[in-house]
Amino acid sequence: MNVKTHHTNRNVVLIAGGAGFLGSHLCEVYLNKGWDVICLDNFHTGTKANVAYLLSHPKFELVRHDIVNPYHAEVDLIFNFACPASPPHYQSNPIKTMKTSVIGTMNLLGLAKRVGARYCQASTSEIYGDPLEHPQTEGYWGNVNPIGIRSCYDEGKRAAETLCMDYHRMHEVDIRLIRIFNTYGPRMDPSDGRVVSNFIVQALQGKDITIYGDGSQTRSFCFVDDLVRGIVAFCDQNKAIGPMNLGNDEEFTVKELAELVLNKIGGKSKIVYKPLPSDDPKLRRPNLNVARDVIGYEPSVTLDQGLDKAIQYFQKVLKPS
């Protein structure tokens, strides 16, 4: 597919979901690159605290806005990272999750079309569902339940990918489509509900470590710095529009993760087993050949190293002031 190169002089970036975990890292990177950054967020799962230290930066603007409603600004680059990513959060209001994924994406693609901006979509490994191909390549179409409790997110993100491709084919919007695999690190909300934050917070607080199911399901965990480096490199290049998997291709069972966290933190926590939520994918590992080929991507932080950094962060945020 041809890739258009509209931009010779890009310098204003709109980051929707910029007050969230990943979005806040993108805000920081683009300010450091000298760009003007407009951070849009409805603060559903993100917080002002995530970007508090950027508020005094002359090139940073924080706007409370819900992407389900149209937004207009003259920008050169748009990141759509606005959507709750943690299962408990996206399932708490599934209709809103679908609206954010579909109407929100349509609004931001419409803006990209009007102002000629490059548009980068945070898609997800969830579009592969409970995969029948392992590891997952971008060519795999997935195995997704359309009517289950995860569908609002999985199908919402699949529809968002469809919209990106149709805006690209119909209106030549200059898209970049990134399928992000489980990522963790500083600025995750301690009560976010995803597995890495749950296990670390539980261990630090001496609470039981809650494994859902028997813990044999697998995930591949990427430290945030590796992911953000990959996102920026992909959005900066003109060879490919995606979709492109991004993450870390080392694979662990959830039980191995629990044991690793317990070994590092010690304390009195013990592992307890809770029911596995329905449609929980049994296996997940990215095939990263496209990322390796297009941007020379190689994850550099092992789970062992990344967990140490994440533990340090959670120790700091949980410390009573």
Q: Does 279 bind ligand UDP (CB under 6 A)?
A: no
How many beta carbons lie within 10 A of that of residue 27, not counting itself? Answer: 27
Q: Give the footprint of ligand UDP on residues 59-98 (CB under 6 A).
A: 86-87
CB of 182 to ligand UDP, least distance (A): 5
- The number of C-alpha atoms within 13 Å of 11 and in the hemisphere containing its C-beta is 3
Among 30, 153, 167, 297, the one annotated catalytic? 153
28 binds, among ligand UDP, ligand NAD, none (CB under 5 to 8 A by kind): none
Pick the binder of ligand UDP from 61, 133, 251, 280 (CB under 6 A).
280
CB of 17 to ligand UDP, least distance (A): 17
CB of 174 to ligand NAD, least distance (A): 19
Q: Does 212 bind ligand UDP (CB under 6 A)?
A: yes
249 binds, among ligand UDP, ligand NAD, none (CB under 5 to 8 A by kind): none
211 binds, among ligand UDP, ligand NAD, none (CB under 5 to 8 A by kind): ligand UDP
CA 187-287-312 angle, to 5 degrees, is 25
CB of 39 to ligand NAD, least distance (A): 9
Tokens of 98: 């679908």
Closest CA to 71 of 17, 20, 107, 112: 107
Crossing angle between the packed helical segments 224-236 and 21-32, to the nearest 10 degrees: 60
197 binds, among ligand NAD, ligand UDP, none (CB under 5 to 8 A by kind): none
Of 38 and 122, the one with the shorter C-beta distance to ligand UDP is 122
| Ordered alpha helix ranges (H), 87-140 | 87-92, 94-99, 105-115
Helix, strand, or coil here: 219?
A: strand
Helix, strand, or coil here: 164?
A: helix
Residues that bind ligand NAD (CB under 6 A): 16-17, 19-23, 40-46, 66-68, 81-85, 100, 104, 122, 124, 180, 182-183
220 binds, among ligand NAD, ligand UDP, none (CB under 5 to 8 A by kind): none
Q: Which long-range contacts (CB under 8 A, 24 or more apart) does 204-207 make?
A: 204/265, 204/267, 204/311, 204/314, 204/315, 204/318, 205/318, 206/267, 206/268, 206/269, 207/269
Q: Does 205 bind ligand UDP (CB under 6 A)?
A: no
Distance from C-alpha of 243 to C-alpha of 165, rounded to nearest angstrom: 10
Examine residue 131 and say whether the peptide bond preceding it is cis (omega within 30 degrees of 0): no
Of 10-18, 22-30, 210-218, 287-295, the window that binds ligand UDP (rule: CB under 6 A) is 210-218
Q: Does 222 bind ligand UDP (CB under 6 A)?
A: no
CB of 163 to ligand UDP, least distance (A): 22
- Residue 245 near residue 182 (C-beta atoms within 8 A): no
Pick the binder of ligand UDP from 219, 228, 283, 285 (CB under 6 A).
219
Of 26-34, 136-144, 204-212, 312-320, the window that binds ligand UDP (rule: CB under 6 A) is 204-212
CA 37-126-51 angle, to 5 degrees, is 25
Distance from C-alpha of 154 to C-alpha of 77, rounded to nearest angstrom: 25
CB of 156 to ligand NAD, least distance (A): 9
Q: Is 153 a catalytic residue?
A: yes
Q: Give the footprint of ligand UDP on residues 281-310 (CB under 6 A).
A: none
Contacting positions for ligand UDP (CB under 6 A): 86-87, 182, 194-195, 198, 210-212, 217, 219, 254, 277, 280
Residues with catalytic function: 153
